[in-house]
């Protein structure tokens, strides 16, 4: 049975997914993750979120038996294309991607299929140096990544490399993931490193980070004119935030150079 546990460390919410022995993602597990992510996103005391797994597995992949059951429902005419736009897994991925707070994937172990799509929806990805398998192997079983993988991976590593990775169902280890550009860093302990980054981000103005996240994401789909206009509007909005004004005034009071 899937379970999700949460732990608050300062201003960071650590969310752990478990579903022994295989640690597959399931509809039940996605619902639990959705609730945990939504709660962390809505908590004013939480400034960053870290997602991880257990037993040397981040998320092995989505439970194929559940996908087969969905396939039978599709073939019976019980599910329509629009039904795939909502539901436990789709809503959970969207909640991670749309959270106004920085979300970091601490990839502590095997991270495949739907598990890697969850990591792709995060803002940063830190992987433990011992992790042997990261990838999108769905084409090996006749399907393709359906949780955002075909859209987010090309934006991250380019069309040519993403096509090869997805069409061939490739996997890489931790160092291979770093070389490919699908993780930000390799660490001896992914959770410890992710928590350190989260603590660093927690000291930054929440409004500034939220605007920066939204604008960088929008840059991938907006035109330059729209994007720069949105940036200007966002900059105007963040200047209304007490945290932004306080941080700048504190900086001026130190007399330091921001480049140091």
| Integer Cα distance of 258 and 209 in angstroms | 17
Q: Which of 7, 66, 138, 200 is catalytic?
A: 138
CA nearest to 53, candidates 8, 123, 107:
107
**Paired tokens of 164:** 């090869």
Whether 117 sits among the annotated catalytic residues: the reply is: yes
DSSP 151-201: HHHHHHH-HHHHHHHHHTT-EE-HHHHHHHTSSSEEESSHHHHHHHHHHHH
Q: Write out the two tokens for 139.
A: 């084409």
* For the chain, counts of helices (H) and of strands (E): 11, 10
Q: Which of 66, 82, 117, 207 is catalytic?
A: 117
User: What is the signed CA dihedral for 226, 227, 231, 237, rounded to 10 degrees?
Assistant: 50
Size (the chain), residues: 260
134: phi then psi, degrees, rounded to nearest 5:
-135, 130
Of 32, 7, 27, the C-alpha closest to 17 is 32
Tell me the sheet residues that pair with 42.
Answer: none
Query: Strand 48-52 vs strand 110-112: parallel, antiparallel, or unpaired?
Result: unpaired
Classify residue 234 as left (phi > 0), alpha (psi -120 to 50) or beta. Answer: alpha
The catalytic residues are 117, 138
């Amino acid at each position: 049975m899937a379970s999700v546990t949460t732990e608050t460390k300062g201003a960071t919410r650590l969310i752990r997914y478990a579903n022994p022995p295989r640690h597959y993602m399931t509809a039940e597990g996605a619902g639990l993750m959705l609730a945990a992510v939504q709660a962390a996103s809505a908590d004013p005391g939480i400034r960053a979120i870290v997602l991880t797994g257990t037993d040397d597995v981040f998320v092995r992949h989505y439970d194929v038996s559940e996908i087969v059951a969905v396939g039978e429902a599709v073939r019976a005419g019980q599910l329509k294309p629009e039904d795939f736009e909502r539901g436990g897994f789709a809503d959970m991925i969207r909640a991670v991607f749309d959270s106004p707070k920085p979300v970091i994937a601490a990839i502590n172990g095997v991270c495949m299929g739907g598990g890697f799509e969850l990591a792709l929806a995060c803002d940063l990805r830190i992987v433990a140096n011992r992790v042997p398998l990261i990838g999108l192997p769905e084409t090996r079983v006749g399907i393709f990544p359906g949780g955002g993988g075909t859209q987010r991976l090309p934006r991250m590593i380019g069309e040519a490399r993403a096509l090869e990775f997805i069409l061939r169902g490739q996997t890489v280890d931790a160092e291979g993931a770093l070389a490919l550009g699908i993780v930000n860093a390799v660490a001896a302990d992914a959770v410890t490193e992710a928590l350190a980054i989260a603590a660093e981000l927690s000291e930054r103005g929440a409004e500034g980070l939220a605007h920066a996240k939204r604008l960088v994401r929008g840059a991938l789909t907006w035109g330059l004119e729209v994007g720069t206009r949105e940036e200007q509007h966002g900059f105007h909005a963040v200047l209304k935030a007490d945290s932004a004004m306080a941080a700048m005034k504190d900086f001026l009071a130190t007399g330091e150079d921001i480049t140091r």
